[in-house]
Amino acid sequence: MTHLEEELKALKKEVTIMFMLVHSQLAKANKALHELDKDLAHEILLTEKRVNAQELSIDRDCENFLALYNPVAVDLRYILAVLKINSNLERTGDIAEGIARFLLESETLFDKKLLEETRITQMFDIAVKMMDDISDAFEQENTALARSIFRQDVFLDEVNRAANKSIATYILANPANSEQALHILSTIRKIERVGDQAKNIAEEIIFYIEAKVLKHSKKNA
């Protein structure tokens, strides 16, 4: 293995750690939402510090790689993709942190009927799965798995579009729980953005493997 290959392998390991940290944040946020586990919410905030440090480390490694090796073709596409993937993962961590902060402000368990009517449970489960799948797609360089993210995101978008109506209907029937309902609406918006970040990562994986640019295209390839 050449020194360049060793450096690329080390960088991939660093990005894999970043994926693991962010996946952990989302999974904990999902559990904390349903159990109102404030200890888990605090763990998410602590993990966010590690995510931020990891982002800076990966950015620095990418910059050094560009300066030292002047990569071309697939190696250059890989480094450019990693820089964007790293940013998308950090933003996903920010989203999980935002959800955790909402949970820390909550005083009582969320009404099960509210969770069912808004479909936030299914939405959160799919968002966590998307992050798991996109991590596997990155490690395995699997563009078919990356493309599956686009299909999974359709459900997140559907729940998000229906959120205003489902929340309004719930508040009319349960005015005493209006604050809870608004917390859930905000969380739905955040989970939808997790899907957007996962799609961005999928596009970058396809870019560096297939040299296809999907960003801003009307239809994902």
State pLDDT tens for residues 158-199.
Answer: 999 999 999 999 999 999 999 999 999 999 999 999 999 999
Number of domains in the chain: 1
pLDDT category of residue 91 using cuts at 50, 70 and 90: very high
| Helical spans, DSSP H, in 37-142 | 38-69, 73-105, 112-118, 120-140
Q: Which contiguous run of DSSP H or E holds residue 6?
A: helix 3-35
**Residue carrying structure tokens 């390991």:** 13
Rounded CA-CA distance 42/85 in Å is: 25
Query: How confident is the model over 25-39, as a mean pLDDT?
Result: 97
Domain that holds residue 76: 3-210
- Output the pLDDT for position 215: 66
- 120, 159 Cβ separation under 8 angstroms: yes
Sign of CA dihedral 34, 37, 38, 41: negative
Q: What's the CATH code of the domain at 94?
A: 1.20.58.220
Rounded CA-CA distance 215/84 in Å is: 12
- Output the pLDDT for position 32: 97
Rounded CA-CA distance 88/17 in Å is: 14
Residue 178 lies in a domain: yes
- Output the pLDDT for position 220: 55
Residue 216 lies in a domain: no
Residue 67 lies in a domain: yes
Residue 156 lies in a domain: yes
Q: Name, in order, each residue with C-beta under 8 angstroms of 55's C-beta and a sequence gap of 6 or more.
A: 18, 86, 87, 89, 90
- pTM, to two decimals: 0.93
Residue 220 lies in a domain: no
Rounded CA-CA distance 114/38 in Å is: 20
